[in-house]
């Protein structure tokens, strides 16, 4: 699909949304993703023909980028010409309704395609030399879930739990990720209830080819867990209280503090994808009930965050 066909050329005012979609048009591996999904798509039936997989995939991605529910996405397709253009729909085209949009998401969930979307994106990044294998940084973030019981079931989501961070309690889930220590691109995503300890997931966030792994103080003991890999060296942050207590006038303690600073500079890479999905894409609370659906969405979000973070390099390579 060409930019001119999308109305994303310079003859139209370059709004931030238009610029964003023009970049995503060029960096998302559309052909590979369509080839991944198409074998699972329903065939032609009597009545109206189904929408093209690429159209539905573009709509699904716009939902992630702009935090749109199924009904809100249907309305946006009617109200925002730019969104119709990006989806490849003409001004007089039939538009998918919220049920059609919902069915496409269910297809991705039922066929477990979200992990494969992440894998397909990462294969592209690896071919481009942007995703290396030597080191992994692990971390987790809390994603809030509604704690209200004023809903149809009259109860909170039983798969979500409370967890204390600092002096504050949070209800929801955790997104655990493993990222490339050099680029900060996400290669592994796990979703758990919020009360699962970070260190429990630590070794499951490794891709298996790294020699070094980095984590904050919450990952103390990762190297001693039953699923630890002998060939991986863990570099875990010193507990903050212990570090503050160091007498830095002593040369040995000053050296320890410098080592901690170096570890922190590597670990900082893991904050970038969290910032993208929360600030750029607006994903600060779960959209669905249950860990399975929300984890699938997180995998798609992190695949898209990888493309967003790598977009400038990918665009330069295309030039």
pLDDT of res. 47: 59
Quote the tokens at residue 298: 């997180």
Mean per-residue pLDDT, 163-187:
92
Q: Which residue range forms the structural domain that includes residue 42?
A: 3-111
Mean per-residue pLDDT, 230-248:
84
Split into its structural domains, the chain has a count of: 2
- Looking at the fold, whether 280 and 137 belong to one and the same domain comes out as yes
DSSP assignment of 128-141 equals TT---SSEEEEEEE
Q: Does some domain include residue 316?
A: no
| CA distances from residue 277 to 85, 93, 207, 229, 247 in whole angstroms, order as listed | 24, 31, 22, 30, 39
- Looking at the fold, whether 95 and 167 belong to one and the same domain comes out as no
Q: Is the pLDDT of residue 4 over 50?
A: no
- Looking at the fold, whether 166 and 216 belong to one and the same domain comes out as yes
What is the C-alpha separation between 186 and 192, in angstroms, rounded? 17
Q: Does some domain include residue 269?
A: yes
- Looking at the fold, whether 72 and 162 belong to one and the same domain comes out as no
Q: Does some domain include residue 194?
A: yes
| Entry pTM | 0.90
Q: Does some domain include residue 281?
A: yes
pLDDT of res. 10: 45
pLDDT band at residue 142 using 50, 70 and 90 as cut-offs: very high
**Among 76-85, 114-123, 258-267, which stretch is predicted with the lowest mean pLDDT?**
258-267
Q: Does some domain include residue 302?
A: no
- Looking at the fold, whether 210 and 270 belong to one and the same domain comes out as yes
pLDDT of res. 283: 96
| CA distances from residue 246 to 36, 238, 239, 257, 267 in whole angstroms, order as listed | 53, 11, 11, 8, 21
Residue after which a domain boundary falls, among 56, 76, 111? 111
**SS3 at position 164:** strand
Quote the tokens at residue 207: 């891709």
pLDDT band at residue 18 using 50, 70 and 90 as cut-offs: very high
b/e for 78-115, b at 16 or more Cβ within 10 A? eeeebbbbbbbbeeeeeebeeebbbebbebbbeeebbe
Taking only the tens place, the pLDDT of each residue in 199-213 is 999 999 999 999 999
Q: Does some domain include residue 312?
A: no
Non-local (6+) Cβ contacts of 221 within 8 A are 199
Average pLDDT, the chain: 90
Quote the tokens at residue 164: 């204390």
Which residues is 214 bridged to in the sheet?
137, 235
What is the C-alpha separation between 212 and 226, in angstroms, rounded? 18
Higher pLDDT, 301 or 14: 301
Q: Is the pLDDT of residue 252 over 90?
A: no
CB-CB contact of 96 with 115 (8 Å): no
Q: Does some domain include residue 52?
A: yes
pLDDT of res. 27: 97
């Amino acid at each position: 699909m060409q930019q001119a066909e999308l109305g994303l050329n310079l003859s139209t005012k370059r709004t931030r949304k238009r610029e964003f979609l023009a970049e995503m048009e060029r960096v998302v591996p559309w052909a590979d993703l369509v080839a991944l999904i198409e074998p699972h798509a329903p065939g032609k039936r009597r009545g109206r023909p189904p929408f093209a997989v690429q159209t539905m995939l573009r709509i699904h991605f716009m939902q992630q980028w702009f935090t749109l529910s199924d009904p809100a996405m249907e309305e946006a397709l009617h109200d925002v010409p730019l969104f119709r253009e990006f989806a490849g729909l003409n001004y007089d085209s039939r538009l998918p309704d919220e049920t059609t949009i919902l069915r496409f998401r269910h297809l991705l969930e039922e066929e477990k395609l979200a992990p494969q979307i992440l894998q397909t994106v990462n294969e592209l990044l690896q071919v481009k030399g942007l995703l290396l294998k030597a080191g992994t940084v692990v971390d987790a973030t809390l994603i809030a879930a509604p704690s209200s019981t004023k809903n149809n079931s009259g109860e909170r989501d039983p798969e979500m739990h409370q967890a204390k961070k600092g002096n504050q309690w949070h209800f929801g889930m955790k997104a655990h990720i493993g990222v490339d220590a050099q680029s900060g691109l996400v290669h592994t995503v796990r979703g758990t209830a919020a009360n699962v300890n970070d260190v429990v997931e630590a070794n499951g966030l490794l891709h298996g080819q790294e020699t070094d792994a980095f984590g904050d103080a919450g990952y103390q003991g990762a190297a001693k867990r039953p699923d630890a890999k002998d060939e991986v060296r863990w570099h875990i942050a010193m507990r903050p209280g212990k570090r503050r207590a160091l007498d830095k006038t002593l040369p040995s303690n000053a050296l320890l503090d410098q080592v901690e600073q170096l570890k922190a500079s590597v670990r900082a890479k893991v904050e970038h994808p969290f910032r993208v999905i929360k600030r750029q894409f607006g994903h600060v609370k779960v959209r669905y009930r249950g860990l399975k659906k929300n984890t699938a969405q997180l995998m798609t979000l992190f695949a898209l965050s990888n493309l967003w973070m790598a977009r400038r390099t990918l665009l330069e390579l295309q030039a």
